[in-house]
Amino acid sequence: MIPLQLTLKNFLSYRQVTLDFRGLHTACICGANGAGKSSLLEAITWAVWGQSRAATEDDVINAGTKDVRVDFTFCSDDQTYRIIRSRSRGRSGSLEFQVMMGEGRFRSISGKGVKGTQQQIIETLKLDYDTFVNSAYLRQGRADEFMLRRPRERKQVLADLLKLDHYEVLAQRAKDQAKQYKAEVEVLEATLGPLQSRLGERGGIVEQQEQLGVQIEGLRGEQEKLKGELTHLQKEEHHRQYWENQVTWQQNQYQKLVQDCDRLYQEIEQSHQRSEGLRQLVEQGSEIKAQYEQLLQLRQQEQSLAQKFQAYQELQQQHQELQQQLLQRKNELSLSLGQQQARLTDLDQQEQEVLGILSQEGEIREALQELQRSRQRLQELDALQLEVSPLLERRHRLEMEVEQVRTRYQVRLEQLQVTKGRIEQQIAAIPPLRQRILSVDAQVMALDKKKVYQERVHEKGQERKLFRSRLEEQQKQNEQQIGELQQKLDLLAVPEAVCPLCDRALDEDHRRHVIEKTQAQQEQLQKQIWAIREDMAICERELTKLRQEYSQLQQELTVHSALIQERGQLEAQLEQSCEQYERLQELEEEMSELERSLTVGGYALELHQELHQLNEKIVQLNYDEKTHALIRGEVKNRQWAEIKQSKIEDAKRKQGELARQRPQLCDRLQNIQQQIAQLEQNSDLQRQIQQVKDQITALGYDRQEHSQLTETLRAMQGVELRYHQLEQAQAQLPQVQADEQEKRQLLQMREQERQNMGQEIQQLNTRMAEMPDYRPQIQTLEQTLQQNRQALDHRIAEQGRLGEQLRQLEHYEGEYERTQEKIQTVRQQYRVYQELSQAFGKNGIQALMIENILPQLEAETNQILARLTGNQLHVQFITQKVGKSNQGKKNPKMIDTLEILIADVQGTRAYETYSGGEAFRINFSIRLALARLLAQRSGASLQMLIVDEGFGTQDGEGCDRLIAAINAIASDFACILAVTHMPQFKEAFQYRIEVQKTEQGSQLSVLS
């Protein structure tokens, strides 16, 4: 990525600036502290990745403005791109990614939304934010971050920079998968024992089957004998039931005739009563007609009065409307009179107010002179404030920066204290954690056994379901056979029935024999259905019990997977907790160092010195904010004089206007009073009201007479109804009398039929008394057959169950072999994932990658360090050493570390013994070497290098060597930017970008 142009609008301390990078190979960004040098570089990271040092997203917006925008144009892989990122305060931002098409035209290649566009930018650059700030951007105060780490932490920092945490995730996944396969092997091995015990039951099942076969044959012979006796008795009982049905039918017919006779008696009585009522109404015909004619005359009188009433209402309404118009006109004139009187009163009040304002004219003139003197003093203090404000703002910023440094130290110390407490809690939780692992493991083993038993219950339920389906199929077959036999009986019931086999006519004896045989078959099938239903009920009860037991086991096993997962998590926690002892010691050492720095105050020394100088300048200017505020308050308090002066001028103009308005108001009042007097004495409305009153009197309408006539009509409403009933009675009387005569004749016929039917019933009862009743004997035989059938079906079902068990044992044999094969496969998968977890772990691929990259890092570092020190310093990376507890042993155990040995002409010595300038050159060499390696690993070419501060520790010779080193590596980069405020560095670069803080924000100027 080679920068071409950067345009800022309201970004941090900048308002509106543009920086053109074209032609800037090596450049120095210089300016006073706080001028905005680092903000210029932060704008690049914010435009490209949306990240900066600001705590919140709105903090990048310049104070006092509402939105921010950064346009960044750069070149990558011989292609020019432009990124436009903007944001409004309190709202979401926008992002645009464009590519140049030629002649300065850009085409958008943005993705879907801000996230999609950001991903498109990262894929184009092959560089994310973390890789950039750890490679191309050497940020302020982070040059020695790698060296100040402990040896064990350096290796972790290097792993984080190389993004090896992905392998840690893979290692954990492989470890979890291995635990799952191990648990699966344990479950499969637990299922083999029950299968072996079941396969040993085969011999006993075969012996039980042979004994049941002998018992079933004996029960079938006894069953056939009982069926023959039952068939004979059922034939005799069927003959008796036939005659019994005949008696029942005759009795039902007799009861119907009795009911018909009773109904006819009631209908004849009702017809007689109705004919009498109609005859009496016809005899009153002359009286009803006279009353009806009187009703018609009264209705004609009521219509005449209704017409007069309508005219009376219309005149009354007209009279009310005229009265309302007269009243409305009076109200309008009275309202206008009140308004004019109120205006006249208001004129009097305004004249009094004007006179009061004009009386204050002398006092206001003196107040205006005092206001002028205060404003002159305020202008002098405002000019002094413009000179002091930048110094106060800088002092405030320095105080905030000092406090931020102290806060960072305190926050880090608090974080370490929290981490220490958490580690101590983890160490204290190790014994209960081990006990919990043992408890969970015991629960998992118990649930594994229940899971095996649950499978056995499921198999038994499948066996019962199969037996029930067989019974259902047998029941359907029997019902179908019963239907076929019923069709056969229906054909035999016809007198001309023929034999269903030979098609010859059947005589009475043969037909009865075939019917009895068919009925016997029907009964036998029906009894089989009853037996099947009983077996199905027993089977359903067994299935219900198995379902309940299976559900109970299923409920108990719901926690099985959770317990297995918990066991894996607890084992991982135990493994992590055991590593915390060494971490605790390292935290205590770092906490001691931070506490010492905070107590002594050895931090931000340059900021403290600059803060002292600013305080001296502010004292020399002798600016007092309180005096400035008092003068500003006096000016504000005396501004009332200007307002009063304008009111006096307004009052003089208003006095003349009031004098002109008074005569006009007096004339209007007199005119309105005259109109009101004329309206009350003689007007058109008064004359119209009198005419309407005269018309009402001439109409002569009497409301009481109209009401009496209406009441009379209401009392005679029943006359019209009786007149219509008379007409209907004259038409219906002959028909009712004829219907009554017809029903009397029908009653005589029903009485004769009832007597004949009673004699036939007596003859049938005499014949039924001579026939014997075989039902008790048939019931006894059926109970005996039912008991034998139940015993036979029970043994048949037991025989089927044993056969099903033998078939199930064959299934178990196959399952036993498949389980053994599956155990071998799962064990192989367990070994594969166990080896993968070790390979992806810290001691596997991660350690190998660090070991492979360290020689390259060491060579790059020494090459740069040689340029900076004139081949006086040399570094060496050590990744393993002998532990303190293993020193002196024959085969000592090596421990992982990342120590950096530094050698000069006097030999090898510790990093802390080197001076600040030497330490900075060592840090700079290692940091620059890391930058090159990280850029190479990301697939991007490192074409730009940014070095932010850090040169203050160098002497004259060290500065010359740093400048020489930067110039020496300049050919490796397309653009190098160095941020500093040191004069000797400013003159060493071909181009300088000067940054100055002004009232309009930070400003830029490029000098060569």
CATH of residue 909: 3.40.50.300
Q: What is the pLDDT of residue 83?
A: 93
CATH of residue 453: 1.10.287.510
Residues 477 and 567 grouped into a single domain: yes
Residues 867 and 918 grouped into a single domain: yes
Expressed as residue numbers, the domain containing 458 is 447-573
- With respect to residue 239, please indicate whether it lies within any of the assigned structural domains: no
Select from 615, 637, 659 the last residue of a domain.
Answer: 637
CA-based end-to-end distance of the chain = 24
Residue 291: C-alpha distances to residues 282, 294, 503, 713 (Å): 15, 5, 88, 12
Residues 902 and 927 grouped into a single domain: yes
Residue 834 · residue 898 · CB < 8 Å: no
Q: How far apart are CA 999 and CA 996, in angstroms?
A: 10
- With respect to residue 182, please indicate whether it lies within any of the assigned structural domains: yes
Residues 21 and 119 grouped into a single domain: yes
User: Among residues 11, 180, 639, which one has the least CA distance to residue 374?
Assistant: 639
- With respect to residue 275, please indicate whether it lies within any of the assigned structural domains: no
Q: What are the two backbone dihedrals, phi and then psi, of residue 70, each rounded to the nearest 5 degrees? A: -130, 125
- Residue with tokens 């036999």, as numbered in its chain: 485
Question: How many domains, in total, are found in the chain?
Answer: 6
Q: How far apart are CA 244 and CA 209, in angstroms?
A: 50
Residues 506 and 561 grouped into a single domain: yes
Three-state secondary structure of 279-325: HHHHHCHHHHHHHHHHHHHHHHHHHHHHHHHHHHHHHHHHHHHHHHH
Residues 970 and 932 grouped into a single domain: no
Q: Tell me: is residue 578 an annotated ligand-binding position.
A: no
Give the predicted TM-score (pTM) of the model.
0.39
Show the tokens assigned to 145: 């971050």
Residues 368 and 458 grouped into a single domain: no
Cβ–Cβ contacts within 10 Å for residue 53, how many?
14
Q: How far apart are CA 351 and CA 358, in angstroms?
A: 11
- With respect to residue 278, please indicate whether it lies within any of the assigned structural domains: no
Query: Each residue of 730-765: b (16+ CB within 10 Å) or e?
Result: eeebeebeeebeebeeeeeebeeebeebeeeeeebe
**3-class SS of residue 163:** coil
Angle at 330 between CA 328 and CA 335, to 5 degrees: 95
Select from 916, 939, 962 the last residue of a domain.
Answer: 939
- With respect to residue 249, please indicate whether it lies within any of the assigned structural domains: no
Select from 573, 588, 622 the last residue of a domain.
Answer: 573
Q: Tell me: is residue 28 an annotated ligand-binding position.
A: no
Residues 803 and 863 grouped into a single domain: no
- With respect to residue 729, please indicate whether it lies within any of the assigned structural domains: no
Residues 303 and 337 grouped into a single domain: yes
The rounded average pLDDT for each run of 10 residues, N- to C-terminus, in the chain (1008 residues) is: 88 88 83 81 88 81 87 87 89 88 82 88 81 68 61 67 71 82 77 71 75 78 78 76 78 82 82 79 77 76 76 77 77 76 76 73 74 76 76 76 75 76 75 77 78 78 80 82 77 61 61 77 81 80 83 81 74 64 73 76 72 78 75 73 72 74 76 72 72 76 76 76 77 79 80 80 77 78 81 77 74 77 83 81 73 78 77 77 59 66 76 72 76 64 70 62 68 78 69 84 82
Residues 544 and 617 grouped into a single domain: no
DSSP string, 345-388: HHHHHHHHHHHHHHTTHHHHHHHHHHHHHHHHHHHHHHHHHHHH
Residues 392 and 345 grouped into a single domain: no
Residue 503 · residue 428 · CB < 8 Å: no
- With respect to residue 391, please indicate whether it lies within any of the assigned structural domains: yes
- With respect to residue 590, please indicate whether it lies within any of the assigned structural domains: no
Residues 873 and 983 grouped into a single domain: no
